[in-house]
Amino acid sequence: MEFPDPSINVYAEQFTSEEPALLAELNRETWSKVIMPRMLSGHIQGRMLSSLSKMAKPTRILEIGTYTGYSALCMAEGLLEDGVLHTIDINEELESMIRRYFSKSEYSDKLNLHIGNAVEKIEELKESWDLVFIDADKENYSNYFDLVINKMNKGGLIIADNVLWSGKILSPEDKMDKETLALHNYNRKVQEDSRVENVLYPIRDGLMIAIVK
């Protein structure tokens, strides 16, 4: 299932602020050199992440799943002057590319890349969070939520990507594969958690946005 209609995406891009030059460069390099470039947040979602970060005005951001660093760079645009972003990825093969683009960014001194197991790294970080972006292994989404929810500042945002999973989320539960079922359970978990208010946005592959009460 492809949604929204591709022509709607083209139109939406025409009426969305342009990517900063560094992000456009990273976008092109990711699509030309990296396996599974569709994992990149991309223009529209990237500008939305930037907008949400600017509205939240965070001092502490946690990203779970860096990929090539595009979404981290987008969210860094909203950091306050003393703000810091921590991003975690298990794929050490992309580390040099990520660090190269981070070093080019005006936010380079605010960006901290951690390579390793996200569950372990989250527990090591003794921080409270204003904004968390989950975009890693789908089967651990609920675990990541549990690891961060009690470290969230009031009014903080927990954003999870891919929660519609190309429409597979509409399958009967007994027909879902492990990843789809994990995402469905995550959506249900957030919906039933009284500590947050949430909206599932059908943007790109779905964003679940939860605001901590």
What distance in Å separates the CA atoms of residue 50 and residue 78, rounded to the nearest whole number? 6
Task: Please compute the mean of the pLDDT values over residues 167-187 and round it to a whole number.
Answer: 96
Mean pLDDT is lowest, of 7-16, 47-56, 65-74, 182-191, for 7-16
Task: Please compute the mean of the pLDDT values over residues 177-197 and round it to a whole number.
Answer: 98
Q: How do residues 71-89 score in pLDDT, each as one tens digit?
A: 999 999 999 999 999 999 9
pLDDT band at 55 (very low <50, low <70, confident <90, very high): very high
Task: Work out the percent of the chain whose per-residue pLDDT is above 70.
Answer: 98
Task: Please compute the mean of the pLDDT values over residues 121-147 and round it to a whole number.
Answer: 97
Q: What does the block give as tokens for 96?
A: 């040099």
Query: What are the DSSP E strand ranges found in 96-212?
Result: 111-115, 129-134, 152-161, 196-201, 207-212
Instruction: State how far Cα 144 lies from the chain centre.
Output: 12
What distance in Å separates the CA atoms of residue 156 and residue 149, rounded to the nearest whole number? 10
pLDDT of residue 35: 86
pLDDT of residue 183: 98
Which comes out higher in pLDDT, residue 206 or 6?
A: 206
| Residue 5, pLDDT above cutoff 80 | no
Task: Please compute the mean of the pLDDT values over residues 112-122 and round it to a whole number.
Answer: 97
Task: Work out the percent of the chain whose per-residue pLDDT is above 90.
Answer: 89
Mean pLDDT is lowest, of 18-22, 160-164, 204-208, for 204-208
CB 17 within 8 A of CB 47: yes
pLDDT band at 39 (very low <50, low <70, confident <90, very high): confident
- Sketch the domain layout of the chain as residue ranges: 6-212
pTM over 0.85: yes
pLDDT of residue 1: 63
Q: What does the block give as tokens for 131?
A: 């904004």
| Residue 53, pLDDT above cutoff 90 | yes
pLDDT of residue 9: 84
H-helix or E-strand spanning residue 121: helix 118-124
Architecture of domain 6-212: 3-Layer(aba) Sandwich (3.40)
